Every structure is written in C-alpha cells, then in structure tokens.
Structure 1
C-alpha cells in the first residue's frame, strides 16, 4: 500500500517537472524518465492489483486479469532493471574512461531507451 501512495506521486512528479522545465530534458534524464514510466507500470499494473486482491482474499479479475497483471508487473520490472543497466554503463564510461572523447548524447539515450523496451 505504501508503494502505491509513494510510488505514484513521486514518479508522476518526476515526469511532470521534466516536461515543464526544458533544462531538465537532457539525454541522461531520458533514462530516468524511462525509469519513472516503468515504475508507474509497476504501480498501476502490479501493486494496485495485488492490494485489491489481497483485500478480497482471492484474485477477483479472472484469468485475463491475472495475465494482464503479470504482463504489466513483469514489463515494468524488466524496463526498470534494463534502465538501471543503461545508467550503470553510462556512469562506467564517465568514471572509468574520463579522458576519452565519448559524450552521452541524445542518440545514445534513444538507443538506450529502445534497448530497455526491446529486451
């Protein structure tokens, strides 16, 4: 229940503030926004369903609801994890290869986003 109460507003505000302020629209923040979207998938697809069915004592949405809940919860979890992998790679390049000419640009961020959704 706490994950829903904290997860929705924090991730929604992350999206809202980034959309409202152009200075925050950087390639690195694309990955963080992707993480916020994935967490919203988890909040709506997984956590709310789990809380609702726990209050009833059984899964009330039937087989289709079970499949959808599993799909969205898994999708959100996988996108979150792969987004963290992309962030870790970006940080590794910055920290371990500081003298190289590599700059994490918009094309890299878009490729990272595509990677997280395809994997």
Structure 2
C-alpha cells in the first residue's frame, strides 16, 4: 500500500519551507556577507527577518504534524485511519497561519528586527533587551520550540517502543500497512529534525546587551 496522500502533502509542504529559506534567505545573507555589511536597507532587513522567521516557524510546525501523523499511523491506527484529508488540510494550514502570526509580530511592534553585529543577516534585535523583546522571545520559544519538541519526543518515543514491541513479537506482518514505506518515512523525519534550521530568533549568537 502506498503512503497516504495526506502524509505526502505534509512532506511536500515541508520541502517548500526549505526552498523558501534557500531561495530567499541564503542569497541575501551571502550577498551581505560578501559586501561586509547588510546591503538591503531597513525594508529589506524587515522582509528578510520576517521571511526567515516565517519559514522557520512553518518548518517546526510541520515537523510536529509529521510526528503526530507517525504516532497515529503506527501507535494508534484506530484513530489514524479515521482522519480525513480535510483533517490533514486543517493542521497544515494551521502550521502556516501560526508562522504568519509570529513572523508578522515584530513588524507591528512586538519586539523588532535589525541587522546582527556581523551585518550578514537580519534577525530579532537582540541588543534591544526590553520588555517587548523578552516577552516575544519567551513566548515564541515556549509555543514554537519547547511545546513542539515535547510533542515530537513523545510521539517518536512511543513509535520506537511500539516498533520494538512488534519486532520482538514477530507480528509486523499482521499489521495492515506497508511497513517498508511507513518505517522509511518515520526514520527520515527525525533525521530531518536533527538537520533542520534552528529557530530563527536564535540564529544570532550576539549577546543580549550591547
């Protein structure tokens, strides 16, 4: 049995986030690095930072969705098989909308973006260590890093336990799914999490205080 189209849709959306970072973020950063300072002005800085936050947040959200999908497919097939294309569409859209919200907040006054000390990139203004910056950063880290990381750990831990249990009992063949394909995706995604882009706001190693 082929992998469900819904699972493929999540992975395709995840690929678009990588294309966005590679196609928009890296060229601007490389050009500024060669120039020796940020060369795209204030507006370019805001756009660059917003897009990197946007694609980074979307990537984290989609990775969380994939983890939940793997958990339901392998550990709770009774629930996973009941999910419809509409269900998957809604969670994919939610991941993109969540990223839209958090990437737009610095542009409307919650925290702010500025070139980092190297001048090669633009990110959250770490040097403006005020209440707005602290509240935004702490909220984003909680909502878009700690919680997704906890969900992914829970899902993949249970997937690992379930697979080991099935292997020990030699009953993989009795499960109604193509385990070759399913386990292939399940193994690839944790590797994708490992090499995934870091949370955009933590990309700079500059100190909080000037």
TM-score range, shorter-chain basis?
A: 0.7 to 0.9
Aligned ranges for residues 20-59 of structure 1 at < 5 Å? 26-59=5-38
Give the equivalent residue in structure 2 for 1:12.
none
Give the equivalent residue in structure 2 for 1:63.
42
Unaligned runs of 5+ in 2: 99-210
Give the equivalent residue in structure 1 for 2:86.
107
Aligned ranges for residues 6-21 of structure 1 at < 5 Å? none
Alignment CA distance shift 1:71-1:95 (3 Å): same
Tell me which protein shows more helix as a share of its residues: 1
Mapped contact 1:53–1:59 kept (Cα < 8 A): yes
CA distance in 2, matches of 1:45, 1:74: 12
Q: Report the count of equivalent residues.
A: 96
Report the Cα offset of residue 25 of structure 1.
8.3
Unaligned runs of 5+ in 1: 1-22
CA distance in 2, matches of 1:24, 1:71: 34
Report the Cα offset of residue 87 of structure 1.
0.3
Give the equivalent residue in structure 2 for 1:9.
none
The TM-score with structure 1 as length reference comes to 0.73
Report runs of 4+ in structure 1 exceeding 2 Å deviation.
none
Mapped contact 2:72–2:79 kept (Cα < 8 A): no
CA distance in 2, matches of 1:79, 1:113: 9
Q: Which has the larger radius of gyration?
A: 2
Mapped contact 1:41–1:76 kept (Cα < 8 A): yes
The TM-score with structure 2 as length reference comes to 0.43
SS across alignment from 1:59? coil
Which structure has more relative contact order (CA 8 Å, sep 6+)? It is 1
Q: What's the Cα RMSD here?
A: 1.9
